[in-house]
Amino acid sequence: TGFGAMASTQAPSLPELTLRQGHYSLQLDGRPWLLLGAQIHNSNSWPQVLTTSWPAIMATHANTLLAPVYWQQLEPAPGHYDYSHIDALLAQTRAHHLHLVLLWFGSWKNGQMQYAPDWIKTDPVRYPRALSAKGQPLTDLSTFSQTNLQADRQAFTALMNHLKSMDGTRHTVVMVQVENEPGLFGAVRDHRPEADVAFAGPVPAELAQRLGHNAGNWSQVFGDRAEEAFQAWQTARYIDQVAAAGKAVYPLPTYVNTWLHYKNKHQPGLDYPSGGATDTVLDVWKAAAPHIDAIGTDLYATDRDEFDRVIGQYHRADNPAFISETGFDAAMPRLIYDALSASAVAFSTFGIDGDPASPADLAARQAYATEFALLDSINRPLAQALTEGRVRTDIEAAGKTRGDIDLGHHWKAQVSYGPPPWGDTPPTPAGSPHHDGHVLLVDLPDGSWLITGSRARVELRRDHADGRHGQIIRAGQGHFDAEGHWVMERLWNGDEIDYGLNFGDRPSLLRVVAGTY
């Protein structure tokens, strides 16, 4: 049976983010699917400009385009909507057979409000700004204004309504990002008079309870982080109401992306937007925003330890690993394998349509294309396996040139990085030139292993504690066809398996059947 075959009698179900048996997954047409995303630059969703970005988008081999919808463009006058951008995004994306994630650039874009319509920017009396500690207006809409909330909510609802009518049965759009890197710059919290009153008052009982705190005011409950937690609650409640209204008309999965508190960035409101879903206030966000299905990380760290540390903060029982942005950098895509070992549901890279001649972009494009093309070619079996804990990875690092993967049933895979394509495995393998090798191993339902990797040797070993010896019965190189059926191209044998399974720079896909004698 194929992995891709769809039950043809049922109407395709809406995309959904599910949590089953402790595993998150993004469901597309009712089956787990891995989102591999490419995001265009901020000002390239304009239909004419977008047409020129397609070669770059396609060259990444992503399966999903992430593209902004600008409130400023969508609602040129209060209550008047111009859907031409959304329609062009849908049409162009469909013509290229990709999926689409819409990024709602509404009240927030990178901790500011530049995407609000002109009629909002020019009317701070009706649409009040957050105030700094010195009482100065900031480039942020105040969350304390029902008028602000109402305006954003109405526009987002109009967007979702239109999307439902254009895409409600086709599902080109798989998710919606509500706002972009929300939070406040120029202050840790809003200092409007209403805000001061609320800050002096009690923490909402539902929040205190959820966090297991006694009742108290913000300072009593959150100590040094009180102002940031307060701003997070206000921001998350506002965004949750926007998301809830949109979901009421068209319930697509939603997420919020986060400008992270990491690297050397420690000061809320200065180094990163205060009140965004940083690790410092993630619990507050989870309590405040039940209509946001995932908190995403805009993870620009190419340093593997830092990357893994952040994934560890966000991959929790109440949140999937969701890589909403990474740098378009040749050193990033190898970290997909770390994300996958945390069962990530999405991995998307930002800014793929820069200068087509820049050497750095060309290198990044090549590096992403290699991993995205391979992973998308096994998307359905891989995503299904992720939801069942049947995926294992090993990743090379400087100073780590070997790895062991326990496969259960007496089997293990001994991985080494940098050995020759054949010949004995050196006792201390040198590692690959850039220490970027990796292995991905999937237990398939029929008991075989799907194995792929780059710059790595995999030696399958069985102990004979039960008196039986292990053998490779067949190692077939191949691919999955459009229906999800395995197509074998050749068998690896002889030198191709006597010295382990050797994966070079271009990843190949093996399906290995092992047994005992």
By CB under 6 A, name the binding residues for ligand N0T: 42, 110, 180-181, 257, 259, 263, 265, 298, 325, 350-351
Residue closer to ligand N0T by CB (options 265, 468) is 265
Residue closer to ligand N0T by CB (options 240, 298) is 298
Smallest distance, Å, CB 372 to ligand N0T? 20
| Residue 131 DSSP SS3 | strand
Residue closer to ligand N0T by CB (options 329, 496) is 329
Are the C-beta atoms of residues 256 and 275 closer than 8 Å to each other?
no
Residue closer to ligand N0T by CB (options 42, 63) is 42
Distances (CA, A) of 504 to 270, 422, 449: 45, 11, 19
Are the C-beta atoms of residues 148 and 141 closer than 8 Å to each other?
yes
Smallest distance, Å, CB 313 to ligand N0T? 16
Smallest distance, Å, CB 300 to ligand N0T? 6
> What is the H or E stretch that residue 164 is in?
helix 146-167
Q: The tokens 């480039």 sit on which residue? A: 139
What is the spatial distance between Cα 79 and Cα 206, in angstroms, rounded to a whole number? 34
Give one DSSP letter per residue of 277-328, joined into a string: S-GGGHHHHHHH-TT--EEEEEE---SHHHHHHHHHHH-BTTB--EEEEE-S
Which 3-state string (H, E, C) describes 417-450? ECCCCCCCCCCCCCCCCCCCCEEEEEECCCCCEE
Q: How long is the chain?
A: 517
Smallest distance, Å, CB 44 to ligand N0T? 11
- Which residues make Cβ contacts (< 8 Å) with residue 426, sequence separation at least 6? 416, 419
Smallest distance, Å, CB 101 to ligand N0T? 13
Residue closer to ligand N0T by CB (options 93, 110) is 110
Nearest-10 crossing angle of helices 379-387, 359-377: 70
Residue closer to ligand N0T by CB (options 213, 263) is 263
Residue closer to ligand N0T by CB (options 279, 496) is 279
Residue closer to ligand N0T by CB (options 93, 258) is 258
* Amino acid letter, 329: D
Smallest distance, Å, CB 325 to ligand N0T? 6
Smallest distance, Å, CB 248 to ligand N0T? 26
Smallest distance, Å, CB 463 to ligand N0T? 47
Query: CA angle, corner 32, sides to 28 and 38, nearest 5?
Result: 65
